[in-house]
Amino acid sequence: MHRNLFAIWFSVALIGPSTAFAQANQSDADAIVDAWAAAFNECSADKLAALYDPAATLWGTNSPTLATTQESVRSYFAAACAQQPPIKVSLGARTTRGFGSGAVSAGTYSFVRDGKPFPARFSFTLISKDGKWVIVQHHSSPMPVRP
């Protein structure tokens, strides 16, 4: 009986912290995605680029090239911000999963320009690096049209 109780306690002690850590990763990752949307809506290429790791990659929604440096990420968003009227984004449904010192968030967002929505989907891969959460990979693509 005591062995069984010890085995249960030991299992909970091992599983409990990792589950709590995964939940913390999820909320940290969600906070970065929310900060990304806020910076996008401010049209701040500098704030957006600061959310990315220097070696991050970005497949922009309509970009034919992969951004592979923080400067190329900043340039991509600077070009988007230069469009008139400005583009805004609203986040839709998303799923976020924590994995060790990282997390993945995937979902939908809608870009709106001149009152016209443009639905898209995204995935962000984030890591905690030196106590700060950063985006290391971001993929965005237009939402496919259903047949």
Tell me if the pTM is above 0.95: no
3-class secondary structure per residue, the chain: CHHHHHHHHHHHHHHHHHHHHHHHHHHHHHHHHHHHHHHHHHCCHHHHHHCEEEEEEEECCCCCCEECCHHHHHHHHHHHHHCCCCEEEEEEEEEEEEECCEEEEEEEEEEEECCEEEEEEEEEEEEEECCEEEEEEEEEEECCCCC
Count of the separate structural domains present in the chain: 1
- Does some domain include residue 136? yes
CATH code (residue 90): 3.10.450.50
Domain of 106, in residue numbers: 32-142
pLDDT tens digits, 85-132: 889 999 999 999 998 889 999 999 999 989 999 999 999 999 998 889
pLDDT tens digits, 37-56: 999 999 999 999 999 999 99
